[in-house]
Chains A and B, each alone.
Chain A
Amino acid sequence: MKLIVMVSLLVFISWSCKKKTESVYLQQDQIRIVQPRLEATNQLIDSIAYLTARLKLEGSKIYYTTNGDDPTENTTEYKAPLKVLSPGTYKFRAYHPDWKESDIAEIKFYKRGIPIDTIIWNTNPNKRYQGVGSLTLHNNKKGALDFMNDQWLGFDTIADATVHLKHAVFVKSIHIGYLCDPGSWIFPPEGIMIKTSADGTKFTHKNVNLQPLDSMLPPTLKNVEITIGDTIKHIHVTVKNVASIPDWHEGKDNKAWLFMDEWVLNNNGIR
């Protein structure tokens, strides 16, 4: 009798396993869940910001890190909005008992920069993407991943402007925030030229060329940091959009969009 039960059990197990591997349908462990949605009250902070992570999928849990490491199920579980008090990188990932874990969602917080007095534009954004007007690039608000978000200035040509400060101050670097969303024909800048001056007559030049995109990427918030390291009052900034979209993209040979959300002047390490 014992033998019969054992044999029956083995037969059942092998039948059960065989049946599962034979399914013609898609299996849950082949599919990734979507990364958590992140929302911050502010990404350029001088006091406090609140950060919310969400994924409306029953049974999913969200884990995060604040030290730059990739989140796992062993890192801290997200349960309530986080208070962000200092600059840094927060990374989140969602897990579910049945589905594959999500990709990582990442958000950066920056220190609020030196106040910009005015930005005088020599070229204009496209009339469809004018953000919140002339303040868009220095209102201390970052854009979202959606290019329709009102914190983006969208250019289909070179963006050229002069930034004026109230007084000459030491500026360590300028941070230029942009959107990389090749699926929407929005590419990183091709190159950036800055000319800095303390008196408005004698300027120092600097050119930075960016690595061109070579494949499709999901929408990402990016930035480029250009060292200045000088006491200045005026900065002339020229940001070149990609003039000819590369061959691998459906929009090849057309010009790409350039979307920017914030220019930040950093003064860390003031002398």
Chain B
Amino acid sequence: MSRRTFLKQSSCASLGILLSPLYNNAFSFSKQKDVIIGHHTHQYKVDMNWGNLDPLKTPVKDCHEMVQDSKGRIVLLTNHTKNNIIIYDKSGKLLETWGTAFPGGHGLTLCKENGEDFLLITDYDRHQIIKTTIDGKVVFEIDYPKETGHYSKKEDFKPTETTVLENGDFYVADGYGNQYITHYNHKGELLNIFGGRGTGNSQFLNAHGICYDNRDKTNPALLISAREMNILKRFSLDGTYLSSIPVPGALICRPVVHGDHIYFAVLKSKKAPNADSGFLLIMDHKNQVVSCPGATAPSYNNRNLEELYQTIRLFRHPHDVCIDDDENLYVAQWNSGQTYPIKLIRV
């Protein structure tokens, strides 16, 4: 206990206040309480003012995704072409902006090569994946995978997400297009394609996000969200279907592996009376849901997860989460009235 806390508690105790059950009512003239959301090990306070900027100078449209770079900075991708990339420090102070050429900027992934940071951006409007340096110089652009025979025109390809392996290979999820997952080497040469639209085990409806899961070093896998189906699917790196993890009621965006947990923004609840019914979802090392900030407490009945749904009207359409090195979260939101990200402080 800090000296400050000790002194505060002693003075309260000497007045008999700390022990009084009436304290909250009798001595708290304001009924205000900090919001704490989430369950079990993952609970958070909410800072709605983090990262708010002058919308005339640094506007956002949809805030699609966020990552933390090697310098600890928080990098945001918006589809506003005045400043597609906005870089903050962890306190929410604006550091720099760049990018005017990503009208459908959607997926943002950090990759590190020989100590240097790069970004992979998917743009569903340009039907491309663009690799840039961390300060915005284009390294390469990849067009739709015509040679696979699964695409007849570029408009069929609307990539939503990428994920990168240690060797530089990367995968692209075509979540708004024909629902295929494409696998490239570090030079951007196509190696494999799998998935496709459908309800079979190895197919997707809205393959919105993809993430390399190397928590088990001996059995690395790909986690791919089938958002419309409320399912997280696991695939081997060669594209073989492994298993499905249902998340009833939750339209999960991309999975984000941090430590031994998986974090998701949930765009909305499946059966909600209000359209802006999103929340967050956190799975543990066994892929069991342990916390749903903004929603019902997760519970299992005979190993089956019960339907999850929003319980408080905090999030609008959360679209991505970024977990920083202090275990705090940043939430980027789609279609939320041009709002800046929300920061959640772990308690």
Contact = CB atoms under 8 A, between A and B. Distances in A.
Contacts of A29: 31-33
Interface stretch (A6-14, A69-77, A117-125): A6-14
Contact of A146 (B17, B33, B270, B313): B270
B30 interface: yes
A166 interface: no
Interface in A121-153: 144-146
A214 B34 CA distance: 36
B77 to A, nearest CB: 19
Interface residues of B, number: 35
Interface in A1-45: 5, 8-9, 12-13, 16-17, 20-21, 23-35, 37
Nearest to B277: A34
Interface string B1-41: 00000000001100101000000000111111111000000
B17 to A, nearest CB: 7
A12 B38 CA distance: 32
Nearest to A216: B275
B35 A28 contact: yes
B311 A26 contact: no
A231 to B, nearest CB: 40
Interface string A235-265: 0000000000000001000000000000000
Contacts of B29: 13, 17
Contacts, number: 105
B35 A56 contact: no
Nearest to A99: B312
Contacts of B313: 31-34
Given A23-B34, A146-B270, A9 B311 contact: no
B78 interface: no
B241 to A, nearest CB: 24
A35 B273 contact: yes
Nearest to A106: B273
A154 to B, nearest CB: 15
A12 B273 CA distance: 45
Given A17-B30, A32-B312, A219-B273, 5 more contacts: A29-B31, A31-B314, A56-B297, A103-B273, A105-B273
Interface of B: 11-12, 15, 17, 27-35, 45-49, 270-275, 277, 296-297, 309-314, 335, 345
Interface of A: 5, 8-9, 12-13, 16-17, 20-21, 23-35, 37, 55-58, 98-99, 103, 105, 144-146, 181, 183-184, 216, 218-219, 250
- Which 7 pairs, one residue from A and one from B, show the smallest C-beta to C-beta distance? A183-B275, A26-B46, A57-B311, A25-B34, A56-B296, A25-B45, A32-B313
